[in-house]
Every structure is written in structure tokens, then in C-alpha cells.
Amino acid sequence: MFKKISAVFIAFALLLQLLPAQAPLANAAVGNGSFVFPSESSNPSSYRITTDARVTLQGSINNVNPTTISYSVHQIIDDKNDSDPTNDIIGTSKLDQTSNIYPDGNAITIFNIELFPGKNKITFKGLQNGGEVADSFYIDYRNGPLFYNLMAQIDGQAFPVTDGKTTVVYSNASKGRNNYDISITGNAPNAQNVTIVVNGNSKTYNVNPSNNNSFVASPVNLKKGKNLVTIRVKNNSQTLETTREIAFYNGSVTYYDVNINEGAGTDGMPMEYYPNYNFSNINNVQVSGKVIVPNSEYADVVSGPLEPHPDPTWPVGGADNSGTKKVRVIYGPSVTDYVYATPEPLTNKKDKFFVYSFALSNAQLKTAVGGTLDQDTRYNVQLLSDNEVNKHLNITPSQEGTNELGFILQNGNDPYIHEMNYLQSYNGTNYENITGGPLHGTNIFSMPFAVEFLIGNPPAAGYGLTDLPMKIDSIKDIAGQTQTTPPVFRRVNTNAADVKTVTKMVNGVTKTFYRIVYEFSSMPVTGTQTINFQMQTGSQVLKPATINLLYGPYANYDKAVDGMIISVDTTQTETQQATEIITNKLGNFAGTFKNIANETKIKYVSPGQTVFFYINNTLVPLKKGVRLDGNNVDKATIADFQLDIAADPDPAQPAPPNSLRDIYNKFYSGENKIRILYQTATESYDKTIKINLVPTNLPVIPAPGTSGIFPYGTQYNDIPLSNDPNFPMRGSIFTTSLSEMNVFGTFDFLDLGTTETAVINKMLSIATTTQQKYILKVTTPSEKDPWKWDLSQPFQLVKDGKVVGSYPASSPFTSDLTVQYNMDLQSFSFTIKRQKLNIDGSSKIYNFFVYNSGEAGPRATYRLEVDPTSIPYKILRPILPAKNTVNQNFIEVVIDALALIKC
């Protein structure tokens, strides 16, 4: 019984082995901890932020086959602001990456995973127990330029450059120097270069990505006192800009951070930039600032300890009987016009210099500027303090400071001109897309020119589209003479969609200004001049700008440019060519005179003609041009010109004078000189440009890609043999012993098409007079008259090596010269039959000429020489090659040799 049960059990077990095992269940894309990276987040709403374009991940794997691991990087464009990854919108992806994956047991490192800008989803996949597992992690890559660790370095000393605080730099070597070079260093991730702007100087320095994205800006030249440093960090698409303040202390009394304000809690403006300060109450205006003074250490009594002078620990209210313990800020003409400054907290009395703060009240400021404060008036302020080192050593100057401080007071509610910028590449319409530069000191080369005005404190509702907020008070020439002729200008940014506000950083403070653009089309004087601008209403302070309007007439064509190459389809009619070249390509030579001081002198016709136009030294008339705007309104001035083209009612007749065809006939194939001359009794301007007309159907012989030009035996009839053994070539000369030959060759000057229908249509579209300009001419000294064929004469049509027709149809071909057009090769060929070689044994020479614009136009040439090796002869009997073999015991040989007959 037991044996039977055992046998049944064994059989059942064997049966189970025959059954297929259940397939493993896939577990793809389920975050089950198969991949663990402790520093990364698998939460779509909480992810790591990095500024590195490539990251390295270190973690571990749980029972994942390391040879099956791959990862994909997906750029998430829109995560829908939720934590559900299934509805994310994916942009670019890098799928199934397997490089730089290094497993080590359960540990794993993936080096240099390249990220996309923005949010990235990194999905790792692998096989675990036969099934696929996956985990995803999220990293936000911010590729905007950054900077940190800004340091100002001077003679081996480093000073941190922090935001919102003036950094004071100094060194022993820089004592007494009014200017000194320092270095600015730092790190700038995601940046290619760093630009440093200070005191009007701008330099750009590269970022070193291999050294922690560091940069070194050197030399950076500072002046004594405070310097506003602008730092621009850039990459391909983004720019980060900030400002820092660095004060250079050279061992003498140095004032910095001197601001005009209305007391604590109000925004001040640095007085070293002579700002336009907008006040709320003129009676509250005051000044605050800081001063650096050197420390003079000496004993106050004989054999006493060294004491600082001044002494930052001296009581604020304590008497200074020696006049050396406290810091005075002298602001007025009297010896009593001073205030005491207070030392900065935590000042060490052993320091080589001390920093003190001071303030001038409204009354003291009035004394400093002469007694009153008025708006729209420029004021200058001088501040002095004792140099205790110089006083103790009894050397001059004993008092030092600055007189380069000032301001202009403006009512905080009144509009004022903040900035005037010259829009250099202005063309009449592109004022929205130009970044202007300072108008003052600009060289202006053409008119009209445009100026951008930035207005501070504009009305709450802004300005109307037709308002002119600025006016010109006066214009003075280089001699100081005020001009009485007013300039001509208008406002151009009058569209509702135009940008009307501009945000700029002013002395470290962000401010918004109203933008107005004026176009100046006429000025009363050329050369150096000063224009005094002023608001129509609001601040009445004059805003001067000195410009150089560089005189010099200039003619500019709308379409024609020097060196222009124009292709000419010579198959077109004369009218078609003239229209295409002169009107379409050259725009009828329309153009504009610029920088003409007095445009009334421009005259295109007599009497008093001052403008002359020449094509290849032939005078051609001009007239005032046409300038249509978007509303089809002519905006042209007398400075605009174009060809004065006469009517041409009948193209079949000769071209009337100054008609379009007549003007076109003044052009040559090849180089043409176009000259325009402006000449008055007192001035002259001359401009010449060169325009090249190149026919598209240039003649060529032989045609490219063909067998060329060669002689062959007459026995081959209409089947040219390019390598006829009777005509071997020696160098470039064919040789033969025959007395007669055919000549075959190819040439090209026009594509007629690839089908018989196309050829017919093309020929019908070409005027007969034009066809007659396409010529093949063959000359040889032994012939009195040359062979001459042109496109108006019959030619055969060849397809697949066979003659399939002719043009015109059923044309007879009786001449020794036959021309064919090969529709497969789209080129021409010719055959000259039954050519006798010279009986005296001299060379037979042929000259071939191909023209596409008549015999006066472009041509291609070729020379063929056939040299008899002996007296030329021809075997008449037997007929070869048909009778190469005969079944008889004798043959009759008949030879034709004219030279022997004459012997």
C-alpha cells in the first residue's frame, strides 16, 4: 500500500514539474524603495534646488540587478501645482541612460546626470526578482546667474563686499593716492562672464568653471572716497545686476555716504552724484554722512602713554580743550560753522583710522550753501575736518575734506527730466526696440535722429499720446551764440501699445520713469552745440546736453548697394529684363539724401539743378520720390528721390528717351558704375557704387559633362566616335592620315527644357530678336566665310541618343553645320560634315565662338587643331570597314590623294 501511495506522489510531483510556472508580476514605476538616495526627494511637491547643470547622486539599491539599471531625465514644464505626477506636462526627455552608473554592492553612484532648466524628474529602473521596479526623484535646476563671496582685495588685504553697507578698503601702499587699483573676486555659478562698471569704466572678465566658478576682476580703479560699483553677471540668456559701494581710504580725511534726505526713515540720495532730490518739505531737507579720519598716536604729556587723536572714546558731551580729541565737520565759511561727529560703535582706539558719523540740520545746510534753499537750483557743498596726523607733525594741509558734493532740490510732486538718451540706430519706426545711450557727448551722423526722455514724477494719469512734455529752452553753438532758428521735432511714441514706463536703478535705488521719444528732423546749426531742455510744466531746471552733429551729406539707396551682383535672364524680353532689374531689384534707384543742412537747395531739374545721376557716365534724370506709410499717404520730402522714367507705349518700337528700356540699355553685362552728385555753389558730394549684371545663361564651350569637341571619320556618318583610332591625340592636337573628316562638339548657353513640349513653349516665349543674340560661330582659315548659327534657326531635338524631332517642326537640314539640342543633357551640340584637310599637309584649325547677348556680349571660345601626319589621303576602294575581309585572291585599291595629283 505504501509503495502505491509513494508511486502516486512521485507521479504527481513529476506532473507538477511539467506545468509552466506563473509569470512574475511586473511592478514598474512603483516607488517601493528599490532605489534610495537620502539627499533627494521623491515628493513632487518638495524637491531639492540646485544651480549645477550636472549632479552626482549617491545612494543604495535593494535587491536590484545592477546590470539592468538605467535612468531617464524628464523636464517638467507644468506640474499643475499639485503633487500628482500623472498629470505633469513633460517637455524634453533623455531616456534610458546607462552611462556613469557605478554600483558597488548595495551602494550606487551615478555621476554627472545632466539636468534640464527647471523642474526635473529622474526615474531609475531595474529588474528585481525578474520584475521591473522604478523610483522617481525630483530636482529643480535653476540656471540663472548667481554670485557670492564678493571680496575687494588691495595689496594682499581682503575686505568683504556686502549688500547695503559701504566697504572701506585701505592699505599702507596706497597712502596719499587719489586713485588706486584693487581687485574684486568672487564666485558666479551659471555665469559666463562678469562685467564691473565703476566711475564710467566698464570691463568684462571671464568666469572660470573649473575653479568653482570663480572670477577675478582686476584692475578696478577706485577714486578717493565712495565708489558706486555695478556688477553684471551674465550667461547666454540671463543677466543679473547689482550695485555695491566701496570707499577708498588713502590715509587722509575721507568723506563718504554723504546723503541728502529729510531725516531718519526717509530715502536719501548720495551727494557725490549731484542728484535731483525730490523733497516733500524743503524745510526738512538735511545732510548726513560719514567721515574717515587718521589716528595720530602720541602722548598728551611728557612720558605719558600714547593716546589716539581724535579719541573715539571721548565723551560726546565732553569739552575738547586741546581741539584734538573730537572730530569737527566744518561746513561754512566761519570758524564756528561746524558740528561734532560721533564715532561708530565698537571702534577700537588702537585702529589706524576711525569712522565717524555726522549730520547737518536744515539751518546748517542753508549756511553751507549760502543762506537759502531754493528748488531747481544747483548747490555745491564743501566739508572739511582736521587731519590730526598733519597737525601734530605741523605739515599742510591740516584740514582735508571734499568740495565735490552737491544737489538740486526738486518738488517731489513736480515732473522732471531724469535722463536723455540718444537712440543710435533709429530708422523712423524702431524706437521701441532700441536701448539708448547718454545724449550728452554723442556724435550724431545722420538726421532725423531720436532722443529718449525719462521723466520722473510724471502725472498720475501719465501723458496723452499727443502731449509734448519737454521743450527746448535754447540751443548754443560752439562759440556760445544762441541760435534763433528753432529746431524741427515731433513726438513719435504716440501709439497706445508703446512702452511708456521704464524701471532703472538710480544710485542703488530702483525707480520708475515715464518714457517719451522725440524725433529731430532739422537743427539750426551743425557741429558742436548745447541743447538746453526743460519741462513744459513742473521742474524748470535746465537739462543741458552737448552733441556733435557731424555735417556731411550722404545719399542712401533703398535697394541698390555697392558691389551688388544681379543675375539676368537673357531669354526675357527687353521690357521684362528692364522691369526685373531696374524696378524690382534696384527699386528705380529710390533713395534719400541725409545730413543736408538746407534741403531747399535740393533740385532735380533745371534751372538751378543740384542733383545729377549717371549710369556709366550717361546722365539719367531723377525726381522727388514717393514714401507711402501704412495708410498709403505719401510722406516723402524733397530729400527723397527716384528715377524719372518716361512712358514707353509700344515695346515693339525703339525705346523712347529715358524710358525704362532706354535706361536699361545704358547698362552693360558685367560691371556698371552708378554715380550720384549733389553740387551747389558752396558744397559738393559725390557717391559712386558698382553693380554687376551677370547673365544666368552664360555661354560655355564645350558643355560640362559631355564628350567635348573632336574630329571623327566620315564613315561613321551621324554617330560621332569620340575616340576614333584614325584621330589620335598628341597633347592637345589631333593627328590623322585621312583627307576628310567630320567635327563634333558641344556647347551651352540656355536650358530649353527636358521635353519637346517644354522646348517649344520656351522658344515661343523668347522674342526673335532675343533668339538672334544666341549665336554659334565657327571660323577656319581655309574657309572664306564662317559658319554661323543662331537660336532663331532650325535645330534638331535629341532624346535618348536619337533624333526625335526638330524646331521648327519638319525643318530641312542641308548645311554642313547641323545643331542639335539634347533634352537629356539640356545642352547643345553641332556636327560639321565632310571637312577636307589641307592638301599641303598643314594643320587644319577651327575657332569656335558661343554668344548669349550678341557678338558684343559675353562669349566662350574653343580652338581645335587637326594635324596630318603625312599627305592626307582617303581609301576609296575597298569600302572600309565593310570590306575589311574579302573572299578573293586579289583586291583593288583606289586612293584619293589630291596632293599627289598636284605633284
- With a cut of 90, say whether residue 818 has pLDDT above it: yes
Residue 419, number of CB atoms within 10 A of its CB: 18
pLDDT of residue 24: 35
- The confidence band for 674, taking pLDDT boundaries of 50, 70 and 90, is very high
By percentage, how much of the chain surpasses pLDDT 70?
92
pLDDT of residue 157: 93
Question: What single letter denotes the amino acid at residue 239?
Answer: T
Rounded CA separation 445/553 (Å): 10
54-63, 215-224, 260-269, 687-696, range with the lowest pLDDT: 260-269
Please state the rounded mean pLDDT for residues 633-662: 92
Please state the rounded mean pLDDT for residues 721-734: 90
Residue 801, number of CB atoms within 10 A of its CB: 8
| Grid coordinates of 368 | 553751507
- With a cut of 60, say whether residue 15 has pLDDT above it: no
Of 848 and 89, the one with more pLDDT: 848
pLDDT of residue 680: 85
Pairs from 316-323 (Cβ < 8 Å, separation ≥ 24)? 316/340, 316/342, 323/386
- With a cut of 90, say whether residue 72 has pLDDT above it: yes
Residue 397, number of CB atoms within 10 A of its CB: 13
pLDDT of residue 29: 34
**DSSP code per residue over 782-816:** T-SS-EEEETTS-EEEEETTEEEEEESTT----SS
Of 346 and 327, the one with more pLDDT: 327
3-state SS assignment for residue 778: strand
Span 32-69, pLDDT tens digits: 689 999 889 888 888 888 888 899 999 999 989 999 99
DSSP single-letter state for residue 281: -
Span 337-362, pLDDT tens digits: 999 999 998 888 899 999 999 999 99
pLDDT of residue 890: 66
Rounded CA separation 452/518 (Å): 7
- The confidence band for 877, taking pLDDT boundaries of 50, 70 and 90, is low
pLDDT of residue 17: 47
| Grid coordinates of 202 | 566698464
DSSP single-letter state for residue 24: P
Please state the rounded mean pLDDT for residues 504-524: 83
| Grid coordinates of 831 | 556636327
Query: Is the previous residue joined to 275 through a cis bond, with omega within 30 degrees of 0?
Result: no
Please state the rounded mean pLDDT for residues 783-799: 92
Q: Give me the residues paired with residue 307 across strands.
A: 298
Rounded CA separation 567/572 (Å): 12
Closest CA to 508 of 264, 194, 229, 183: 229
Exposed / middle / buried, residue 108 (Cβ in 10 Å: 0-12, 13-18, 19+): buried
pLDDT of residue 366: 93
Per-residue burial over 647-674, b if 16 or more Cβ lie within 10 Å, else e, is: ebeeeeeebeebbbbbbbeebebeebeb
Residue 437, number of CB atoms within 10 A of its CB: 13
pLDDT of residue 886: 65
pLDDT of residue 20: 40
Q: Output the CATH code of domain 416-549.
A: 2.60.40
Please state the rounded mean pLDDT for residues 393-406: 92
Put the strands of the sheet holding 48-50 in their side by side order. Answer: 48-50, 131-141, 118-128, 70-78, 89-97
- With a cut of 50, say whether residue 2 has pLDDT above it: no
| Grid coordinates of 232 | 553684471
User: What is the rounded average pLDDT for all residues in the chain?
Assistant: 87
**DSSP code per residue over 829-891:** EEEEEEEEPPTTSPPEEEEEEEESS-TTS-EEEEEEEEEEEEEEEEEEES-TTTTSS-SSS--
Superfamily of domain 35-141: Immunoglobulins (2.60.40.10)
pLDDT of residue 899: 52
> Within 13 Å, how many C-alpha atoms sit on residue 605's CB side?
7
Closest CA to 415 of 245, 579, 335, 535: 535
- With a cut of 80, say whether residue 267 has pLDDT above it: no
99-113, 171-185, 626-640, range with the lowest pLDDT: 626-640
Rounded CA separation 395/259 (Å): 31
Please state the rounded mean pLDDT for residues 196-222: 92
- With a cut of 60, say whether residue 492 has pLDDT above it: yes
Q: How far is CA 257 from the centre of its chain?
A: 41
pLDDT of residue 32: 62
**Are domains 35-141 and 416-549 of this chain identical in fold?**
yes
- With a cut of 90, say whether residue 784 has pLDDT above it: no
Span 541-556, pLDDT tens digits: 788 999 988 767 888 8
Please state the rounded mean pLDDT for residues 125-152: 90
3-state SS assignment for residue 576: helix
- With a cut of 90, say whether residue 220 has pLDDT above it: yes
For the chain, the structural domain boundaries read 35-141, 148-248, 254-411, 416-549, 554-694, 709-872
pLDDT of residue 246: 93
* C-alpha dihedral sign at 702, 704, 706, 708: positive
Rounded CA separation 687/677 (Å): 7
- With a cut of 50, say whether residue 749 has pLDDT above it: yes
| Grid coordinates of 851 | 554668344
Q: Output the CATH code of domain 148-248.
A: 2.60.40.10
The answer to whether 707 and 721 are in contact (CB under 8 A) is no
Rounded CA separation 736/731 (Å): 14
For 19, residues 6+ apart whose C-beta sits below 8 A from its C-beta are: none
Span 424-460, pLDDT tens digits: 888 888 888 788 889 999 988 777 899 999 998 888 8
- The confidence band for 88, taking pLDDT boundaries of 50, 70 and 90, is confident
The cell 591625340 sits on which residue?
Answer: 729
| Grid coordinates of 323 | 581741539
- With a cut of 50, say whether residue 565 has pLDDT above it: yes
For 267, residues 6+ apart whose C-beta sits below 8 A from its C-beta are: 261, 509
Rounded CA separation 748/426 (Å): 49
3-state SS assignment for residue 601: helix
By percentage, how much of the chain surpasses pLDDT 90?
51
Please state the rounded mean pLDDT for residues 628-634: 85
pLDDT of residue 126: 93
| Grid coordinates of 764 | 515661343
